[in-house]
Chain A
Amino acid sequence: MNYHWNWNIFWQPHPEGGGTYMTSLFDGLGWTLTTALSAWIIALVLGALVGTMRTTPKAWMVRLGNAYVELFRNIPLLVQMFLWYFVMPELLPKGMGDWLKQLPSSAFITAVLSLGFFTSARVAEQVKAGIGSLPRGQTLAGTALGLTLPQTYRYIVLPQAFRIILPPLTSEFLNIIKNSAVALTIGLVELTARARSMQEFSFQVFEAFTAATVIYIFVNIIVVNLMRLLEKKVAVPGLIAAGH
C-alpha cells in the first residue's frame, strides 16, 4: 500500500476561490445546515398538518393524507429531486419556469423543497403514531368539555403528541441533515460535495472524506444533545412523556 498521507492539505489554498480547503469544507457545512434547517421547517409544518389530518374522523381527509404519505415515501429522494429540478419548471407556465431555472440559487431552493416534502411524509407518520398513542379518552374529554375538534387538537392532543414524538423527530432531523448530501447531484455545494471537490483537486481522498465524516459526527452529537435539552425543557411533570 502506498498512499501518501498529507494532513497539512487542509491549510493549503483551494484552487477555486479564496480560502483554504478547510474553509471550503466549513462553507459546505454552512450550506448543509441552511438547507437542512429550511427544509425542516417545511417538513414540520406539512408533516404536522398531514399527520393530524390522518387522525380526524373525516374519511376524505384520512384518504388524502394517506395518499400524500404514500406518494412521497415510495419515490426515491434522488428521483424526487430530479422531478423538482428538471421537471417542475417545464410543467409551470413558460415565463415562470424560465425565471425559476435562471435563479442563481435554484439548486438550493430545489433541495429545500424536495427534502422538505420528502421528510414531511415521514414526519406525518410520526405525528399520526404520536396522536394514536394517546388514550382516546383525551379527545372525548375535550369534546365533552365543550371544546370544538380544532380546539381539542390545539390544546389537548397535539401538545401531548409532540412531546411523545420528540425522540423520533430528532432522528428525522438527523436524517434530513444526512439526506441533504443527495443535493450534490443537482449541484448544491454542501459538505459532501466540498469533500468530493477537495478529493478531485488535491487527490487526498482519505483526508477529505475523514474531515467530512468527523464534521458530520460532530453535528450529530450537537443535535442529539440539543434535542435532549429541549426534551427536558418541555417535559410536563406527571405526563407520560416525562416518565423517566
Chain B
Amino acid sequence: MFANFDFNVIERSWRYLFFDGMAFTLKLTLLAMLGGIVVGTLLAMCRLSSFKPLALVAGGYVNLVRSIPLVLVIFWFYFLVPYIGAWLIGANEPVHVGAFSSSLITFVMFEACYYCEIMRAGIQSVSRGQVSAGHALGLNYWQTMGHIVLPQAFRNMAPVLLTQTVVLFQDVSLVYVLSITDFVGAASKVAQRDGRLVEMYLFVALVYFVLCYALSSLVKRLEHRIAIIR
C-alpha cells in the first residue's frame, strides 16, 4: 500500500515544518494561553461582580463568542482589528496588523471566553468564608482576590485550564483559513508544492497525536497529584 509513497519529503522539509511552522504554532499557543487566562480571569471576575451592568456585558460577550464557530471568530477579528486599531490611535485609515498579531488577538479574545467559564467555576469553588475572612482582616477586593481567592481557584482548576490549552493547541491549526504558515499551513504548502499530500498530512496527524497525547497524559498525572494533596 505504501509502495509508491515518498516519505523522503518529510526528511527534506522537516526543518521548515518545525522551525517555521511548529515554532509559530507553539509561540501562538503559549502567548494565547497566557493572554487568554489573564483576560479570562478578568472576565470571570466581571461576570461574578455585584455591579450588574459589568456582569451583563461580560456575560453577553462570553456567550456571544461561545455560540459562534471559531472560523467565523477568526474572520471577524481579522477584519475588525485594523478598524479597532485605527479607532484607538485616532487614525483615518484602518491600520495594518501583521498575521501573527492578528491571530494572537483573535485567540486571546476567543479562548478567554472558555478560560473565563473555567475560572468562574474555580472562583466559585472557593468557599465564601475565605472572602469574608479576607475582608475581616482589612484586605480590599483586589487584595482578597489576588492573595486568597485566585491562588486557590488556579490550583483547583489547573488540570482543566491545561486541558483547555491542549484544545487551544489544536484550535491554532485553524489559522490555516487565513493562509498563515503555522504547522498545518507549512505542511500543506510543502504538500502542494511536491504533490505529496498523503505523506505530509499523515505526518502532521502523527505529530499532533504524539504531542497532544503526551500533554493530556501529563495533565492526568497532575490531576492525580493535586487530588492527593487536597
Q: Which of B50-91 contact A (CB under 8 A)?
A: 64, 67-72, 75-76, 79-80, 83, 86-87
Partner pick for A206 among B79, B188, B204, CB 8 A cutoff: B79
Give chain A residues whose Cβ lies under 8 Å from the Cβ of B213: 70, 74
**Residue contact A196 to B75, C-beta cutoff 8 Å:** yes
On whether the beta carbons of B208 and A216 are closer than 8 Å, the reply is: no
Sort chain A's interface into a size bin: 35 or more
- Contact of B176 with A78 in the complex, beta carbons under 8 Å: yes
B72 touches A217 (CB 8 A): no
Chain A 212-223: CB-based contact to B (< 8 A → 1; otherwise 0):
110011001000
B92 cross-chain contacts in A, Cβ below 8 A: 1-2
| B67–A182 touching, CB < 8 Å | no
> Closest residue to B67 on the A side, CB-wise?
A220
What is the distance, in angstroms, from A238's C-beta to the closest C-beta of chain B?
29
- Contact between chains at A87 and B198 (CB < 8 Å): yes
| Interface stretch of the complex, out of A152-160, A173-181, A228-236 | A173-181
Partner of A178, one of B69, B173, B197, B209: B69
B176 touches A75 (CB 8 A): no
B67 close to A216 (CB less than 8 A): yes
Whether B205 and A75, one on each chain, are in contact in the complex, defined by CB atoms closer than 8 angstroms, is yes
Q: Which of A2, A182, A196 contacts B174 (CB 8 A)?
A: A182
A178 CA to B113 CA, complexed, in Å:
15
Contact indicator B83/A1 (Cβ below 8 Å): yes
Give CA–CA (A184, B93) in the complex, Å.
30
- Given the complex of chains A and B, what is the CA–CA distance between A33 and B134 in angstroms? 51
Other than the known A182-B69, A206-B79, what 6 A-B pairs have Cβ atoms closer than 8 Å? A1-B86, A83-B205, A86-B201, A192-B71, A195-B72, A212-B72
